[in-house]
Structure 1
């Protein structure tokens, strides 16, 4: 997870609370004024930001990191469609996590503008230049994140409680209107009144214990500390996959860097880690042509940013990894969601009785394909039919069908999970569909975004060709 010297220093100093925790957070820790404005309606946005922060923290546990290193980057689909270079893949994972943390930090900085003190109103500036990697082993981290998780849970309950209350109030109005014409409904109406009253009491209680009733000066410092801990944890976990200077003594002792020039250097180091281009440029000779193009993502933008004095979090988030994929990838061609839907639909058809698929469903699947893939599918289909006639002749149709089914299932074993992960990744990052879920999220390297387009086209064409042959010969088999 990093060189031994850095790790040892982290462990020796992790108990020094007043040194490890940034001074600008400690100073504001107990400044809790009950007269400060409460979050109110902003509690739901804040809880979703907390849930994203918790999700990122949980993804950096030893268990999840081990799963990433030993399972996620070694799957057959990732190895075939993206790369077999684990350093390269882990660098992509590091960069994506940094991007996620940047967006969370922007949200925290936005909330910090509501705080009373001048320090937290400028959280974005401190976040870039004053984070200590020893926070990775901050002794109270687990307790702090449990507190965040409790806030998320109670606020999620409040959200669902308010939805239920709204539905009950709408029903209450309807029942009152209905009761004027139907006296026999009075007993049920009284029972409903009790249920409505109980729900109002529950909502009042949840408002008291959730983020709704918390003031900014209590919540924002807690989130700011959590952001710093996650940042430090990313540096330690991915130490060998980010530029070596990220673990320099300048970062281990940020308080010693008092000049504006040193602060600018720290901000530049942070930007280097987020773009990961220093490392990617070192490993480009180890990749094939597809890997080389992916490894040079945003290289031009990175150079421009380093020459720009406004190289801050807000600037970096406009150059997201997912928006800089080369045209040789499925993501760079703008096709990942379409391809994922095609694969999932083909999977559903294969799991059902292919003979029952009507012409309309086949045409619907076919029209989802881009023209280049349509031509490839037609070519593959002709090749499969010719191969069947040459290799099997008058062999038993049932035996031939089993061969095609096994071929299609073999493709789906590694292509199917990547298709499902693609849709999951998109849903998790859709603002309108964001929930309060705190489990670790799917990474881009597990999806079709980074997949080589030619290899993906070939795999989908083989899958659809096999599916078409199965449908055709299953009907012939059932007819005979």
Structure 2
């Protein structure tokens, strides 16, 4: 078994790469593969000692995580491990599809070799890189990512120039043709040094061996037993539903092909993720945070918009909580300034640990959208740091408390404004000037 974890202690694709090879080259798929490489780079870097230490500190210090998700460190570690495995599995599925286009049978069989490596821990081809070799290949992939981004920009700009050239004069056209010729050479050069002219065999070789190395790193960080427990737990969940042989913990059908990732990241019952409310509640909390910062500036439209965002469960709970304060106003006792101050402080304390989960939820979702349009992932936010695994009932209770406090502070401010206007009116005489003589 491995070491203990940190936590537990469209265009035609040319067919020739060079004169001596009949291997397929990547061509336009270079842009998709550059995006894939960015995920490999990001995943590897997220497993560095520095990043793991930072993650451990952040999860340990997160009050929101302990209050709404779990105070069980082992459970939190498992959620993190699951997400790392899932990210790896998604990349592996893409690499397996690319492998089908390789000419070398060894890369065509990457899929089986990789999942046997996971199940048995056996690396018969010696594909795992050393740490030093992996770092060199990470830098190589980073250069490919950067070059492919430049290539994409140049090709896009060239297309734009072609579209706008119709109205140019003859003289302009000559200059334009010179520029096009120069740009064509530049694009050709970029293709030569980018993934565009690399073979499938070369690319899959680089990605496949990186995945072997990444899996080994995950097992070192989290411990092999943790990974076994993760797969075993997920396997039992499927067995309860029925249809999977119970002959072994690491059943090959379970961890084979796309089934591996399909079974990993499912939110537990009674969480916001299971209810598909995590992103919505994140937006609600962020709106509350903004309004709480300046309650005296809240208009009727803002209050109405916020109220319309609330699910029925929250609005029902809110009505019940607001009754005592409604009765207070009905008895003409008015609002208490000291209580308004207490509510202000209480809201600030709640938002201090709740708002980060909401902002992380937005960032995580934005990262997913960004990855579909770009070659680089720029955030390491994990689902466990968001509202995805937050208990629905507990989260709704906190949101209700915030809404009660916001309502009280807002109405207190309205009352003060009303009194100030009334006092201002009492100082005026019939001619409209203030009565300065008292």
SS at the partner of 1:448? coil
- Higher mean alpha-carbon deviation, 375-384 vs 408-417, is at 375-384
Tell me the equivalent position of 1:53: 40
Pick aligned residue for 1:63 from 47, 50, 59: 50
Provide the residue aligned with 2:277 in structure 1.
335
Structure 1 unmatched ranges of 5 or more:
8-30, 181-185, 244-271, 281-295
Q: Offset at 1:218?
A: 1.1
Q: Does structure 2 retain, via aligned residues, the 8 Å contact 1:116–1:217?
A: yes
Which SS does the other structure have where 2:105 is aligned? coil
Q: Is the 8 A contact 2:296 2:410 kept in 1?
A: yes
Match of 1:382 in 2: 323
Displacement of 1:139 in angstroms is 3.4
Q: CA deviation at 1:357?
A: 3.0
Larger radius of gyration: 2
1:408 and 1:463 in contact (8 A); partners too:
yes
Change in Cα spacing, 1:136 to 1:371, as seen in structure 2 (3 Å) is: farther
Match of 2:135 in 1: 142
Alignment RMSD, CA only?
3.5
Question: Superposition pairs for residues 71-220 of structure 1, below 5 Å?
Answer: 71-130=58-117, 135=128, 137-173=130-166, 175-176=167-168, 200-220=184-204
Shift of 1:137: 4.9
The SS at the match of 1:325 is coil
Matched, 1:325 2:325: no
Question: Following the alignment from structure 2 to structure 1, what is the Cα–Cα distance between the partners of residues 401 and 239?
Answer: 35
Match of 1:371 among 287, 292, 312: 312
Per-residue deviation, residues 176-202 of structure 1 (Å, max 9, x unmatched): 4xx69xxxxx77x88877776665554
Change (3 A) 1:165 1:381: farther
- Which residue of structure 2 aligns with residue 310 of structure 1? 253
Q: Which moved more, 1:60-69 or 1:434-443?
A: 434-443
| Contact in 2 for aligned 1:277/1:302 (Cα 8 Å) | no
Question: For residues 133 and 382 of structure 2, what CA distance do their matches in structure 1 show?
Answer: 28
TM-score of the aligned structures, taking structure 1 as reference length: 0.73
> What is the match of residue 383 of structure 2?
444
3-state SS in 2 of match to 1:146: helix
* SS of corresponding position for 1:310: helix
Taking the aligned partners of 1:466 and 1:193, their CA distance within structure 2 comes to 67
Aligned CA distance change for structure 1 residues 127 and 64 (closer, same or farther; 3 Å): same
Deviation per CA, 1:384-407, whole angstroms, max 9, x where unpaired? 5668999xx66774x554433322
Q: What is the DSSP-based 3-state SS (H/G/I as helix, E as strand, rest coil) of the residue aligned with 1:43?
A: helix
Alpha-carbon distance in 1 for matches of 2:299, 2:366? 30
- Counterpart of 2:253 in 1: which secondary structure? coil
Q: Which has the higher mean CA deviation after the structures are superposed, 226-235 or 413-422?
A: 413-422
User: Matches of 1:477 and 1:42 in 2, distance apart?
Assistant: 64
Are the equivalent residues in 2 in contact too, given 1:51–1:437 (CA < 8 A)?
A: yes
Deviations along 1:285-305, one digit per CA (max 9) or x if unpaired, are: xxxxxxxxxxx8667369836
1:355 to partner: Cα distance: 3.3
User: Does the residue aligned with 1:332 lie in a helix, a strand or coil?
Assistant: coil
Number of the residue aligned with 1:300: 240
Change (3 A) 1:359 1:433: farther
Q: How does 1:198-347 map to 2 (within 5 A)?
A: 200-239=184-223, 242=226, 272=228, 274-275=230-231, 277=233, 300=240, 304=244, 306=246, 310-311=253-254, 312-322=256-266, 324-326=267-269, 328-347=270-289
Shift of 1:372: 0.6
**Contact 2:116–2:122 (CA under 8 A) maintained in structure 1:** no
Question: SS of the residue aligned with 1:140?
Answer: helix
Tell me: CA distance 1:171–1:277, structure 2 relative to 1, closer, same or farther (3 Å): same
Aligned in 2, Cα 1:167/1:407: closer, same or farther, shift over 3 Å? farther
Structure 2: which 5+ runs fail to align?
7-17, 421-438
2:23 counterpart SS class: coil
**Counterpart position of 2:403:** 464
Quick one: distance in 2 between partners of 1:123 and 1:79?
Answer: 40
In 2, the alpha carbon distance for the partners of 1:299 and 1:74 equals 36
Q: Which residue of 1 aligns with 2:31?
A: 44
